Amino acid sequence: MAKTADVLKTQNVRRFGRGARPILFAHGLGCDQGMWNAVTPAFEDDHEIILFDHIGAGASDFTAFDRVRHSGLDGYAADVIAICDALQLRDVAFVGHSVSAMIGVLAAVRRPEMFSRLVLIGPSPCYLNDGEYRGGFDAATLNELLDFMDSNYLGWSSAMAPVIMGNPDRPELGEGLKESFCRADPEIAKHFARLTFFSDNRADLAKLKTPALIMQCALDVIAPEFVGTYMHRHLNDSQLVRLAASGHCPHVSHPLEVISVLRNFLTSSSSYHHTAAA
């Protein structure tokens, strides 16, 4: 992994906006920071926007991928913390999609003073079914899915992008997600996918003290409704909003709804700041 001084270049960090309050947006598996393009303009006037690409995605430095550091989601959480430290950010509102939602949880558990709020879009602490817990997948299905990805990354991208995106009446959305998949480094993407789908962070939920908003989509094949309800029940200070949006990427398919819910959460308290002692 690059030194802290180099992290802004390594992870293609962009910083803009005319406000003082920082919002850091973190993309999901196979995506890049461009997935937030329809959301960020709504917050530029009153917030500082920070975007980045996970190592292996978008315009990040693929050579910075470290199989030891990035052997668990904790390593990706350390990347987020390194970005915040490099920019000297505090009281960050973290907005994470899909696997980045749990990366944000891990980062906030590790450095609670750094984050004011978490916004978790389509999150899941565990994708595997386990007894009464219904993560949405059994191990055989996940292994079959990941074997397909290993053997034919482009074919997997073409087949899975429209399924993940949902909204079949708008095929251009799935095509855009496929293009994002294809910009990623295939080998790193395969590693990140296996790590994502076989991680189990259910035990970490109770450690989080930062206020969190969970956005649950309708007809989400990746993070079903059970998972959103489970997270709401196990996070100490959380709100659950069930969106009218369908699919797994509402910030792309239904950005106006996401903007409305996000803005309401960010302005819902007279005190924006949150500390570990609060």
Q: Is 46 assigned a catalytic role?
A: no
Q: How confident is the model at residue 2 (pLDDT cuts 50, 70, 90)?
A: very low
Instruction: Quote the pLDDT of residue 272.
Output: 39
Task: Look at residue 56 and give its three-state secondary structure.
Answer: coil
**Backbone phi, psi, residue 192, to 5°:** -65, -35
Average pLDDT, the chain: 94
Q: Which of 54, 74, 97, 98 is flagged as catalytic?
A: 98
Is the predicted pLDDT of residue 156 greater than 60, yes or no? Answer: yes
More confident position, 4 or 72: 72
Q: Is 66 assigned a catalytic role?
A: no
**Backbone phi, psi, residue 49, to 5°:** -100, 130
Q: Stretch 177-204: mean pLDDT, rounded?
A: 96
Is the predicted pLDDT of residue 177 greater than 80, yes or no? Answer: yes
Q: Are strands 14-16 and 47-51 parallel, antiparallel or unpaired?
A: antiparallel
CA-to-CA separations, 36 to 96, 109, 250, in angstroms, rounded:
11, 25, 10
Q: Stretch 254-266: mean pLDDT, rounded?
A: 97
Is the predicted pLDDT of residue 185 greater than 80, yes or no? Answer: yes
- Rounded to the nearest 10°, the torsion over CA 265, 267, 269, 273 is 100
Q: Stretch 271-276: mean pLDDT, rounded?
A: 35
**Residue ranges of domains in the chain:** 4-266
Q: Is 98 assigned a catalytic role?
A: yes
Q: Which of 248, 251, 254, 274 is flagged as catalytic?
A: 248
The answer to whether the predicted template modeling score (pTM) of the entire model surpasses 0.75 is yes
Is the predicted pLDDT of residue 247 greater than 70, yes or no? Answer: yes
Instruction: Quote the pLDDT of residue 269.
Output: 61
Is the predicted pLDDT of residue 271 greater than 60, yes or no? Answer: no
Instruction: Quote the pLDDT of residue 5.
Output: 52
Instruction: Quote the pLDDT of residue 268.
Output: 82
CA-to-CA separations, 247 to 166, 183, 215, 276, in angstroms, rounded:
4, 22, 12, 34
Is the predicted pLDDT of residue 273 greater than 70, yes or no? Answer: no
Instruction: Quote the pLDDT of residue 276.
Output: 30
Q: Which of 74, 220, 238, 253 is flagged as catalytic?
A: 220
Beta strands in 91-237 (DSSP E): 92-97, 115-121, 212-218
| pLDDT cut 70: percent of the chain above it | 95
CATH superfamily of 4-266: Alpha/Beta hydrolase fold, catalytic domain (3.40.50.1820)
